[in-house]
Structure 1
Amino acid sequence: MSQHGTAPPAMAYEDLAPMVDYVNRVVQVAGKYTLDEPFEVGWGNIVLDVTPRGLCTRTLRREGVTFRVHYRLLDGDVVIETDSGSRTLPLAHDSVASFYGAFCRAAGEFGIRPPHTSLICEIPGAPANLEGDSAARTWDAGTARLMWTALDLAAGGLEAWQAPFLGHRPRVGVMWGGFDLSATRWREQPTVPEPNRPPFQQNAQLHAYVSVGFSFGDAQAPHTGMYAYIWPQPDGLANRSWGVKGAAWHPDAGLVRLPWSALRETPDPRQAIVAFGDAVYDAAVETAGWPPGLVGPRVDGWYMSTTPSDVVQHREREHAEQRRRDQQGDGRG
């Protein structure tokens, strides 16, 4: 059961593909404005928040205007909200090019220039730029709701997984290029980026990190569900348990995958995402030397607001000791 009390709906990439492909392209329009922001480790500055209605940039400030852009998937529209007013446009357009033109005209009414570039990023086989993408498109409200449902569930689980991490962790959000929901934990350990990769990928590989996320998949890898990986990739990831039945290591892709079909069969999918992430971090501790002490106990806000600090610290020590005993009991410590 999900946190809303109902089992997550079934979904497969093949059914979602036309809408995923379209939404991936149109969210790149507002997403490109986030590139004007100061760079955060691992591109934490660019992610789109999963909202009660869709996907939204954080508040952006430039050139005399403060604004944000909200793609309301459940309403079939996009809202450009500024300090001087707002404008709502339909997401249903006959092409990506048509949407891009309408968006730029509406944004221009508030003094917001078009994005610096209209290149379509990280979509194999796509036209070079947004204004050149004239393929016919059809908006499907039912599929849009399915997409939001998956993103909302995954975001809730990933936010719960991230909460006790004491190191650098950008907010959970959608990377609008590859269109995956990402939760990343960083470690202050310089690494060497892989050669012959695009600059943005090399900039993401300057330090060690553990990434857990959700993806709808793509034509080359039509796997809808959770994924995870450790950078740099350590040895010893085969034949491990990944916390949830159905999760498995895929050496050809360098990913641990938890299919959506397996996730929806768990008693509590949100908690299953937490268990999946914990198993991945345990693998980073045991195979890549990540410090176990960077993860504290999971407690709710009311507990923290009413409990003296010395009791909290004692619970943290107990938590660390229990994790150590668990690892030794599994023969992994």
Structure 2
Amino acid sequence: MSAAAWPELPWSDWSETADTLHMWTQIVGKTRLALTPLQNHWWNVPLYVTARGLTTSAMDYGDDVLDIEFDFLNHQLLMRLGSGKSQSLALKPKSVAEFYREYFQCLDALGVSVKIWPMPVEVKDPIRFDLDTQHNAYDPEYVHRFWQVLVHAEKVFRAWAPGFLGKVSPAHFFWGSFDFVVTRFSGRPAQPRAGADSIQREAYSHEVISAGFWPGNGGYGAAAFYCYAAPVPPDLSEKNISPAAAKWDNTLGEYVFLYDDVRRQASPEAALLEFFENAYSAAADSAKWDRNTLERKPQEVR
């Protein structure tokens, strides 16, 4: 793909839409949390990229199954039971409170009863979903662009995957942090984090190196790809990686490759793959991972 395949995604142009969509994905994601048993590292809660948007995948509901999908082509939220019943609601400018009300009306029409905690997580100054009239923007063009970035990023994740033999996550869209990530594991337990809450204790119970994308929420203000290790090896910040535009961010404690810099590369896919591999290698070496066991030799990768 050319650089043109990666759309412009300036945070300042769509931050209000992103903040609203963030809350909508949390409502749907909390439904998945309520209907699925705990998996290691919260793998039961994320959403997944589809050919049309983001989905919960199939969730058990009694003798039936339910899936919920954000369709970012027709801009609808689709709710479908395996028995054939379905409901939808339009994705358009509306408050989180209105979306929340319509959402549960659709579930009621399907005969689905689910209870979620109506407070957002992992955001500053959260507002209860049913009371949130502040977030009410929806620009379909920018939502479509955001989804396109996720689609392209997952292609690079897949290209990066064959060389690693250890435990690795699917490509997860975590609705709490509103980012898209793949996580590799060394296989070793990690020391408990001081002051960690229940989410962090489960997520970081083992040594990890994660690579992903987030659109600039949380105060960062710019779309970026990232790679971090947890725990952070003490000398990792001293290691330079390629491409040259990728940098260590002292505030975040991780490597960052700004999305706009990725788009400027002759081949954004090749540059992003280089970033993931070099940042991972720097972190794995610093953390003294057993790379001979965890990785295929280059000639073994097809």
Same fold (TM over 0.5): yes
Aligned residue number for residue 181 of structure 1: 180
Return closer, same or farther for 1:289/1:96 CA change in 2, 3 Å cut-off.
same
**d(CA) in 2 for partners of 1:62 and 1:94?**
29
The residue that corresponds to 1:309 in the other structure is: none
Q: Does 1:95 align with 2:95?
A: yes
- Kindly provide the amino acid, as one letter, of the partner of residue 213 in structure 2: F
Amino acid aligned to 1:164 = G
1:12 aligns with 2:16: no
Q: Is the 8 A contact 1:74 1:148 kept in 2?
A: no
In structure 1, the gaps of 5 or more residues are 299-314, 320-333
d(CA) in 2 for partners of 1:29 and 1:219?
18
Q: Distance in 2 between matches of 1:42 and 1:225?
A: 23
The superposition leaves residues 37-63 of structure 1 with CA deviations (integer Å, 9 ceiling, x where unpaired) of: 232332222221111211111110122
The question of 1:31 aligning with 2:7 is answered no
- Check the 8 A contact 2:182/2:211 in 1, yes or no: yes
Distance 1:163 1:31, change over 3 A: farther
Which 5+ residue runs of structure 2 have no aligned equivalent?
Answer: none
CA distance in 2 between counterparts of 1:41 and 1:269 reads 33
* DSSP 3-state at the match of 1:24: helix
Larger Rg: 1
Q: Partners in 2 of 1:167 and 1:87 — Cα distance?
A: 40
Partner amino acid, structure 1, of 2:53 = G
Note the C-alpha offset of 1:136: 5.5
The question of whether the paired residues in 2 share the 8 Å contact of 1:29 and 1:115 is answered with no
**In 1, Cα distance between the equivalents of 2:149 and 2:112?**
32
SS at match of 2:18: helix
Opposite residue 90 of structure 1, the aligned amino acid is: A
Name 1:218's counterpart in structure 2.
217
Using the alignment, how far apart are the partners of 1:212 and 1:290 within structure 2?
16
- Contact 1:185-1:210 at 8 Å conserved across structures: yes
- 1:207 — aligned with what? 206
Larger RCO: Structure 1 or Structure 2 (Cα < 8 Å, ≥ 6 residues apart)?
Answer: 2
Shift of 1:266: 1.4
Please give the alpha-carbon distance, in whole angstroms, between the structure 1 residues aligned to 2:207 and 2:95: 40
Alignment size in residue pairs: 298
Aligned pair in 2 of structure 1 residues 284, 111: CA closer, same or farther (>3 Å)?
same
Kindly state the Cα deviation for residue 81 of structure 1 after the two structures are TM-superposed: 1.2
1:176 Cα deviation from its structure 2 partner = 0.7
Name the structure 1 match of 2:260: 261
**For residues 93-142 of structure 1, what are the alpha-carbon distances to aligned partners after superposition, in whole Å with 9 as ceiling and x for unaligned?**
52101111111111122222133322211121221x21111225132111
Q: Which of 152-161 and 71-80 deviates more?
A: 152-161
Provide TM-score, normalisation by structure 2. Answer: 0.92
Q: Distance in 1 between matches of 2:13 and 2:196?
A: 31
Which stretches of structure 1, 4 residues or more, deviate above 4 A after TM superposition?
Answer: none
Contact (CA 8 Å) 2:164, 2:296: kept in 1 or not?
Answer: yes
Structure 1 residues 95-104 or 152-161, which shifts more? 152-161
Map 1:209-248 onto structure 2 (within 5 A). 209-248=208-247
> 2:237 and 2:135 mapped to 1: Cα distance?
44
**CA 62–156 in structure 1, closer or farther in 2 if over 3 Å, else same:** same
Q: String of CA shifts for 1:124-170, please: whole Å, max 9, x gaps.
A: 1221x211112251321111112112211212112222233211112
Change in Cα spacing, 1:163 to 1:9, as seen in structure 2 (3 Å) is: same
Q: Is the 8 A contact 1:241 1:279 kept in 2?
A: no
Q: Taking structure 1 as the reference length, what is the TM-score of the superposition?
A: 0.84
Counterpart-to-counterpart distance in 1, 2:162 and 2:68: 26
Counterpart residue type for residue 19 of structure 1? T
Q: How does 1:60-209 map to 2 (within 5 A)?
A: 60-84=59-83, 85-127=85-127, 129-135=128-134, 137-209=136-208
